[in-house]
Structure 1
Amino acid sequence: VGNPIGFRILTSDVTQYRKAQMALAESERKYRMIVENMTESIWTMNFDLRHTYQSPSEVKMTGYTPEEILEVPIEKLLPPESLEKAFSILNRALEDERSGRRVEGPYTMELQVRRKDGTLIWEEITTTFQRDEEGRPIGLLCVGRDVTKRKELEKELEERERKYRMIVENMGEAVWIFDLDLTHEELVSPGDLHVTGFTPEEIKAMAIEDFVYPDSLALGLKILEEELARERSGEPVDPHRTRTFEVKFRCKDGGYIWEEIKGRFLRDEEGKATKLLMVGRNITERKKVEEALAESERKYRMIVENMYESVWVLDLDLKNKDYISPSEVTLTGYTPDEIARMPLEELVLPESLELGKQIIAEELAREASGEPVDPHRSRTFEIKLRHKDGRIVWEEITATFQRDVNGRPTGILLVGRDITERKHAEEEREKLERQLIQAQKMESIGRLAGGIAHDFNNILAVILGTVDVLKIKLDPHDPLRPTIGEIEQAALRARDITSQLLAFSRKQIVEPRVVNLNKIVERMGKTITRLIGEDIQVHYYLKKGLAPVKIDPTQVEQILMNLVVNARDAMPSGGTLIIETNNVTLDKDYCQEHLGFTPGDYVLLTVSDSGEGIPPEIMPHIFDPYFTTKEAEKGTGLGLATVYGIVKQNGGFINVYSELRRGTTVKVYLPPSTEEEEREEKVAAAYASSVPHRVLVVEDDPSVLEVTVQMLQLIGCEAWAATTPEEALKFLREGGPKIDVVLTDVIMPGMTGKELMERAKGINPKIAFIFMSGYTANVIAHHGILEEGILYLQKPFTLADLTAQMNLLNGTPETGR
């Protein structure tokens, strides 16, 4: 019983099951292949965190094989912090499951894992529950990915961020990141708190208009729009470019600050601008300094531009004019803009420009010498400028260098002061000084002339008188006559020199008459023609209706002769001489420019030549006595000095104009006379005839006395001699020969000639007197001799002079009585 008796075979169709089984195996093989070839590690664990499966990729990550890791406890794989974190996450998830809150999604955590070699790596682990058919958690499915490099990078980035954040949060500059329409601040650095008083949070909550001043905001929006337009233009742009501008911010305390903003775009991977980065630096103090400097500059500019002095700033080569103050208009008539466009040569006279260049060259040489120099030193000098209206103005220039931070000269500061009036005053003073010196010279010469006149003229009187006596007594063919002629010429020349000295010193005895200059010029015409020679053409331009002048005619002749001789000597090869007369009026302006002149009407005598001209260095000396440029024996140096003395003696003025190689013009101005011109016939009638007289000669010089007696005898007079006034009075009282005329010296020991006349007239009231003297006009006038009706002979005199005086007594018996 119970023994096998056969087989019962039950079959069922398992085709579908086998297919499913094969498909599952294929699917498992496929997924296993995927899992085992993934770089990520895949494993399953129970709730004690023990591995139940491990994919082969774990070897690459931890160094453990799948078999090894199944035996490794979790405490060895995970450091304490990671283990605690893993259990914490797992326990929260299980608590949720037990409380009925099904956990659908995976948990992702980053844990440190210890490799087989002991080193640590980071894994990003994604965990989800494995569930049974009823959905209850039965284990864990984990996928791990090595993120060690990413964590290191993140740590590096984090460190960098920390470092840069620390820099940003502690830097003095403020940093903002805005969107492109400035409506959202993505970042506001804490630096803003230090400069504006607002926290980053407060600024983020504010509209930009609330803390940026309108003008600054408008400027910023304008710049942003310009940059966005460049971005949209399609043209190549520098992605790293920045724009710098200044913005005024409101502060929390109600004040304000200035910040210098550097703005640039932040860009995405394609280089497209997405954000706006701005870094602001507080420049409030700098702006205050700039405002203070601007205010200071405004104040000093106002001072400089309203000061009377002119201020220039030039470069070292005098080419560029960096600044010219407006006051230059007052000084030169040119505006600063006009001067800036002008070469200096057009404004500054050549000698002044050369002086300025020389001084600058000297100062630059001192700078380059290496020797210590005062950086604040200045040089002062005077220059002449051309005014816009053509006149010359003087400026006193004080020049100093402008320097860089190293003390090297970079430019020249010039401060100019108008000294034109001062220079004119100096010129006037110099003219006055020259006039004073001239007057002193004339006074000295006058004293000298006056001192020697008496004795010298007495000597000459003896010589000329003796010559006249000899000429009469000697036979016309006597061989001594030429010698006598030479003596006479030398004596006459000596007399002329004395006369010129007296004229120059204005001590010449003159007989002024109202005369017409035209008549004197015409009368001298032949003499002038003979004097100048054939190589010189003379032209006369004499004014009709010329006003008369009161002057000694012989002085006019002296003026003309001296000027004509000078003109002739200035034209050795011939030329043109012009003599003119005219009525002129000198106004106040003309007289201000010609020192010593007085406004009014004058009669002008002009003598011009086309000769060599007078050198400028000679002009100040032309009126000096004995100053001459002529060769020896050709000039005494008294010609112009004599003219000057005569003109001044008669209340006139003289001007000399001369240009080298173009000629000289001498203008003599004489005051017109209101009296009627004297008729020539009246003067000539006095010399009509000669009548012998009985003459008593009174002279303390024996030689003069003797020769005068002989001269009187030669012209038909009876003559007696007295050496003193007392002797003459005794002769008259004793009733000797009846005397008609007393010819007496003016100044004698014990009694003057005038006193003699007064006492002699007490003896004989009808006796006539003729006075003679070698003294000057001042001395004679002091003794009352140069009065109307008094006859006078100036020593030395010739026989002709004596005859003329004696003839004046003819027909005028009361003269001298």
Structure 2
Amino acid sequence: MPPKKTLSTTTKEALRQENRELHRQLEEMRRIQNMRESKKEKESRMKYLSFINNIPDPVFIYDAITYKFLHCNDAAIKNYGYSKEEILLITPFDLHKPEDFEAVRKNIDKRNMGTPDTYTHLTKDRQERIVEIMTTDIYFDGKPAWMSVAHDISDRIMMEEELHKYRNQLEEMVNERTLEVLMANKKLREEIQERKRAEQAILESEEKFRSIIEKSQDGIFLVDEKGSIIEWNSGQEEICGIKRAMVVGKKIWDVQFQQKPKEERTDENYREIETLWENFFKTGDNPFKNDLQVIQIERPDGRLRHIQQLYFTIERDNGVMMACSSRDITDRLVMEKQLIQTQKMEAMGTLAGGIAHDFNNILGGIIGYTDLAILKTENDSSIQKYLKEVHTASKRATDLVKQILTFSRQEDRKKEKEPVQPALIVKEALKLLRSSLLETIEIVSKIDAKDSFILADPTQIHQVIMNLCTNAAHAMRETGGILEVRLTEEMIEDSVYKELSPGPHIRLTISDTGHGIEPELMDKIFDPFFTTKKSGEGTGMGLAVVHGIVESHDGNISVYSKVGEGTIFSILLPVTVEVIHKQTQVEESIQGGNERILLVEDDAYLAEAEKKILKELGYEVTAVTSSVEAFEIFQKLPDRFDMIITDYLMPKMRGDQFIQKIRTINTTVPVILCTGYTGFSKVITQQKAKSLQIGEIINKPIELGRFAKSIRRLIEIEKN
């Protein structure tokens, strides 16, 4: 047997050799660990700064004690107008208005509570911007600091917060034998603890950015290098109506395809989305070029929303990751559409006003010459009857102009409601409709409430009927059908319609046999600018106007529709409690005279017609087409004329200006002011008319009976 000493020496030598080898391995591992930790910390800082610089919103980092700025991103420089060097010389207080300093100081201590603060920030050139500040505490260059993201909410411009990538997974734990040796070595234990502290700092940094993702008011999602969704924040959930758990781990092209409107979910579109993303992951080239994209999605609840997106890439060791921030701009687009539509309506109103002025002059001539012809014919002759029909048609054309002006908001509709018979308005509206509807549409009318009266604006009631009947006809234009209009009277009990007063009401029912209204659209049909018609076929204002008119008349409107069968609109309006006495009007003979009248009308055709009418009534008339020339005549002969009749809207000198100059010479001569100008009531108020001593204001086209009566009345007042 070998001596024990020899065995002991050999064993110790072997153990020492093994221990030296272990130490060598530990030293090598420590060196590798140090290199990895240094690289990881450097990579984390680079990701940190890369994240900040990629955020489209301004980001400021400032010292938690001195409040001096330590760092800012490019957006801060661009949006505030300072250079980076200038920003590093100031504090957050320099971005606030002086009167806000105290509020800013009070809010600093609660800045890490996760609640955004709203302030007015000042740029370098002292422009004001309303911003929402989200602040979180961080460590920057080893010092405690605050990081603030300033989201410009003054005009909701796209300024998205971008995020950095997830950290690489930690190294696998060393094997059990190495771990035992490391734990036995105090120095290595300290290094392990230091590594854990570094890893914890990195983890906390990552958590801070995840917190920013979650606190972002906009939607944010991240896609890894394999095309899988790895982050989907609450903002994205709100925008898309899809929970995070439903999409994380799924391929981005599958999710985006399912978000497309139903009619766009085709195989071709799926391949297009899939190819776009696959090409990106192969080449690393951002197909969106960091530009804002606007897409339309369909939420699971069926609502269509317009989403503005900004994509940007993040470099990783094993590939490129894509980040996207999203914002729902549907409401903004609706507001823009409303603004455009309002501008169109204003333009239409301006155009309608100009057309109405010229058209009223034309109608004035037609009505004037018709009145002359009636005066020249024998009573009850067939020719006189025909002429009266022409006169009635001309009056209808006058009312039609008023309806156009009402719709385009050029006509003041604040006039008092009057007792009207809806049965007569329905008959008149249907008479107009018959000439414009397709032959495949049959009109059926059942008027039972022939003698009922309501307090209403007849033009607006006419507009309600025309709008609803036009919509009904539009629903049947492809297949034809029946348009039915009913008018009945019924008693409304207190418990049936809470918004209506109990008592007698007329019910106007307009039904069609068209395609009907989808159930999900029923709650939207009375919304302004909502329409299912194609571009150019409607404004989306028809039913909104109808609803407003019915409400203004203390009424109720309801709708029933079934897809494929048709739609029924039902309107209830209270019957007036006023007693209506239908009186047979006896035509008064039209009186004339022999006084001298100065007539001022810039339209030569209308001036000639009015001159002939006045001469037919016996007056001596001097007709002039220029207000300037008329004033020169009056200056020379101030006592010659017994009356002045003048138009309002004339070149060089308006009618009111002409009257004002007349009053400097003669304060008693009677004056009639005629106008077809739609904005007249806003210019010539009652007070101004009184100050100019205007005897009467007559709207064009002029009606002979009132015209003659007004002339005679004012002349007699002056004589007496």
Q: Which structure carries more relative contact order (alpha carbon 8 Å, separation 6+)?
A: 2
User: Highest Rg: 1 or 2?
Assistant: 1
